[in-house]
Structure 1
Amino acid sequence: MSRQELAGNNNQVPPGYKQTEVGVIPEDWEVVRVGDLEPYVTSGSRGWAKYYSKYGASFIRITNLNKNSIYLNLNELKFVALPNHVNEGKRTRLKNGDILISITADIGIIGYINSSVPQPAYINQHISLVRFDLKNIVSKYIAYFLVCEKVQRFFRGSTDQGAKAGINLDKIRSLQLAIPPLPEQKAIASVLSDVDELISSLDKLIAKKRHIKTATMQQLLTGKTRLPGFGGEWETKSLEYLTECLDNLRIPLNEVQRARMKGNYPYCGANGILDYVNEYIIDDDIILLAEDGGYFDEHTTRPIAYRMKGKCWVNNHVHILKAKPGYHQDFLFYCLVHKNVLPFLASGTRAKLNKSEMNKIEINLPKNSEEQKAIASVLSDMDKEIAALEKRRAKTQAIKQGMMQELLTGRTRLIKP
């Protein structure tokens, strides 16, 4: 069945399909509301902060829900220790197969509870819990269905506007679902879960490769580990000695100018590429070092330095650096990525790296430029490997989105009716 056929209106529904409130679906699928399935629906309790502890039961918050997956992000998991006499929290004690939905702030993020979530576990007041009778429904299928764009539009359109945006439990119960026969629910959930496992494995591999790269940088850029065939002394030089500063090529653009200049050349700022414009002011291999707005702190992971090769436009929030003859551009770039520049920032209402202070930043480097080049080559190969994995992950994520569109609408059937 082609997409064009399935996209038809009420008068053009293809054989074997029917037009419903949730769109065109197979004839043997049903449309039901969440409430029709008689689930247990509730939300978390308030006042959990006093029970926070270093150890204890898992406490799930919106930050643990994942926009790109139904599986939870447990990297910043908090814990609570409930006294024996506290019964209110036990109302929301989670079980495998439960579905979580964020109901305040960033509404409609879906979570699915499985054995990866340490038990016992509870939720706060910003999350709704939906628990089905697992004999009659595959809750993982429902979780995937709730991620679909049509349902997400329902969440956005049903938001109660007020002091704080939110959605009530009656709206959760009114959600419409397209339900295939139980065997097909299981098959769809299994296939999508397999893809999610592949994405998760890629995430873990990418994280491992980044960790290895960080450790390698620590060893090679400090001279603690020397590459085979190299010896000799290292020296310490300031950026003023090692680089040319091309800040005279910086030109800011406001939003109106950028909108008028839409094109193919990167428009670069402190935090990376901001836009694409139809003109360029520099055509070179350069290092961009944030002047303000792009520094690491406990809340952000934005870059302090990045590379651009070729034609681009640079604004006035980033310094433009190029290695002087005799020093390797790639090596200096990795040194600046590794370097803590926070001590050089000017204090005030907004942290800023002035040019005079930037020039004082010192770099340790081997006197032999060939060793600089060799170190940079090792790190560059690592970057390429990580980039290839990230590209594969993005492709897999796109494939998953396409599969969801096909499987959760019945366009592609895993089990013939």
Structure 2
Amino acid sequence: MLPEGWKYANLGEIISHRKGHPFKSNTYKNYGTRVIRISDTTSNSIHSLNPVFIENNGDENLDEFALKHGDIILTTVGSKPHLIDSMVGKAVRIPEEIDGALLNQNLVKLSPNDKFIISDILFLYLKSRNFISYISDLVRGNANQVSISLKDIFAYRVLLPPLPEQKKIAAILSTWDRAIEGTEKLLANSQQQKKALMQQLLTGKKRLPGFTGEWKPHTLSELAVMSSGGTPLSTQKAYFGGNIPWVSIADMTRCGKYISQTEKTLTKSGLDNSSAKLYPKNTVLYAMYASIGECSIASTELSCSQAILGIRTNSKLYFEYLYFYLSFLKEKIKLLGQTGTQSNLNAKMVKAFGINLPPLPEQKAIAAVLTTADEEITALESDLSRLRQEKKALMQQLLTGKRRVTVD
């Protein structure tokens, strides 16, 4: 039963649209008027990592393809559908800083008909789980590229509240948007402050109060024992499903700093019949393949794949200090990866890493400061996740009429 005053409409009945222009890539320059391509879009925004421009000399009237702040654009073609930022059907609003840019092909600008729907509500419908699910069921193509027709997009059915109720819904949800935006800024500031702290504390440029001891140069091989893990034969079911955690790089990226639970586990037989080995608690795990430089700490006894190096520090090096030091080196280490189908490290390279080491008490104090910074970041990430979930749940209720608002 429809909420009183609400009605269904096809998306194509309540908007107008403009397809992007087929700009030729051989005309792109590094100056002029910016062109917005599919590759410039992410799931929620437009990035400026590799912008392209055209020299608009007036030979061609391109005004109809110009974008302004707040415009809504939608991708109709996508690549690698398993990656969320490459999916077809992404809805993005044009930020103020790229006002005046031009829309490229395979993108479409959707403009609301203000007799039926306001811009904020249109955007919410395009970001809803229902619309994303609708798109995913209709895309066609292959593993490399997928697309959807405008006919299919415009056939999407929306449930429209009266305009006054739409405006009230948008105003309520904007409260969550402001809270989310504020938390995002706090999180970005905390992450930047931690980065600055690491730069100062892990290089000795800034000393914590009370520490004056000499820092001494070492190679990592002088301070730790290192060995890579292994993988039992996947065809042997008896090797898997035991009580020994087996860390993959995916586990590291999912769990972050500390790891105790893993997606896969080994039996004692799997451990004995492979090059996998047990690492004690507080072993630093270091990714050598794919996501090189990714770093975690074992918070229980565990094993790992051959893509990961287990680093067991001696009495001169505090394991948590090493974790932060390797995390600090991450971007630099990526450049050391061997060229090939993917960048890799090996144990010999890691053993040769240089490290200027403060006395052990200072290492522990530095690690404590950076751990506090991590805890602040984790708390803000939790707040941000909660706010996004609250907005999503409220949006689901308000846009379906399950929860009505009072219009003044």
Q: Which residue of 1 aligns with 2:396?
A: 405
Q: Which residue of 2 aligns with 1:373?
A: 364
Pair 1:62 & 2:65 matched: no
CA offset digits 1:359-388 (Å, max 9, x no partner)? 11111111x211111111111111111111
Corresponding residue to 1:276 among 257, 260, 263: 263
CA offset digits 1:76-102 (Å, max 9, x no partner)? 473534424244532222245532111
Corresponding residue to 1:325 among 312, 315, 327: 315
Q: Tell me, yes or no, if the aligned pair for 1:263 and 1:276 is still in contact at 8 Å.
A: no
- The 5 A counterparts of 1:260-339 are 261=240, 267-270=246-249, 272=252, 275-279=262-266, 281-295=278-292, 303-339=293-329
Q: Tell me, yes or no, if the aligned pair for 1:58 and 1:119 is still in contact at 8 Å.
A: no
Corresponding residue to 2:118 among 124, 138, 160: 138
- The 5 A counterparts of 1:245-256 are 245-247=226-228, 250-252=229-231
Corresponding residue to 1:49 among 10, 16, 25: 25
Q: Which residue of 2 aligns with 1:299?
A: none
Q: Tell me, yes or no, if the aligned pair for 2:35 and 2:54 is still in contact at 8 Å.
A: no
RMSD between aligned alpha carbons? 3.0
**Cα distance, 1:348 vs structure 2:** 5.0
Q: Which residue of 1 aligns with 2:176?
A: 195
Q: Which residue of 2 aligns with 1:217?
A: 198
Q: Tell me, yes or no, if the aligned pair for 1:264 and 1:276 is still in contact at 8 Å.
A: no
Corresponding residue to 2:347 among 338, 351, 355: 355
- The range that moved more, 187-196 or 208-217, is 187-196
**Cα distance, 1:395 vs structure 2:** 1.5
Pair 1:171 & 2:132 matched: no
Q: Which residue of 1 aligns with 2:131?
A: 151
**Unmatched segments (≥5 aa) in structure 2:** 79-86, 255-261, 268-277
Q: Which SS does the other structure have where 2:298 is aligned? A: strand
Q: Which residue of 1 aligns with 2:6?
A: 29
Q: Which SS does the other structure have where 1:128 is aligned? A: strand
Paired amino acid for 2:248:
G
Identity %: 27
Q: Which residue of 1 aligns with 2:72?
A: 99
**Unmatched segments (≥5 aa) in structure 1:** 1-17, 19-24, 296-302
User: Normalization by structure 2: what TM-score?
Assistant: 0.82
**Cα distance, 1:270 vs structure 2:** 3.8
CA offset digits 1:261-285 (Å, max 9, x no partner)? 5689754234525752345844511
Paired amino acid for 2:75:
S
Q: Which residue of 2 aligns with 1:206?
A: 187
Q: Tell me, yes or no, if the aligned pair for 1:98 and 1:132 is still in contact at 8 Å.
A: no
**Cα distance, 1:324 vs structure 2:** 0.4
Q: Which residue of 2 aligns with 1:40?
A: 16
User: Normalization by structure 1: what TM-score?
Assistant: 0.81
Distance 1:54 1:262, change over 3 A: farther
- The range that moved more, 282-291 or 401-410, is 282-291
Q: Tell me, yes or no, if the aligned pair for 1:41 and 1:131 is still in contact at 8 Å.
A: yes
**Cα distance, 1:413 vs structure 2:** 0.9
**Cα distance, 1:131 vs structure 2:** 1.1
**Cα distance, 1:192 vs structure 2:** 2.3
- The 5 A counterparts of 1:102-117 are 102-105=75-78, 106-113=87-94, 116-117=96-97
Q: Which SS does the other structure have where 1:177 is aligned? A: strand
Q: Tell me, yes or no, if the aligned pair for 2:245 and 2:266 is still in contact at 8 Å.
A: no
Q: Tell me, yes or no, if the aligned pair for 2:233 and 2:239 is still in contact at 8 Å.
A: no
Q: Which SS does the other structure have where 2:17 is aligned? A: strand
Paired amino acid for 1:31:
Y
**Cα distance, 1:54 vs structure 2:** 4.3
Q: Distance in 1 between matches of 2:25 and 2:334?
A: 33
Q: Tell me, yes or no, if the aligned pair for 1:206 and 1:389 is still in contact at 8 Å.
A: yes
Q: Distance in 1 between matches of 2:242 and 2:263?
A: 5
- The range that moved more, 170-179 or 380-389, is 170-179
**Cα distance, 1:169 vs structure 2:** 2.1
Pair 1:227 & 2:208 matched: yes
Distance 1:113 1:351, change over 3 A: closer
**Cα distance, 1:260 vs structure 2:** 9.2
Distance 1:258 1:119, change over 3 A: farther
**Cα distance, 1:45 vs structure 2:** 1.0
Pair 1:121 & 2:129 matched: no
**Cα distance, 1:42 vs structure 2:** 2.2
Q: Which SS does the other structure have where 2:300 is aligned? A: strand
**Cα distance, 1:244 vs structure 2:** 1.9
Q: Tell me, yes or no, if the aligned pair for 2:28 and 2:54 is still in contact at 8 Å.
A: yes
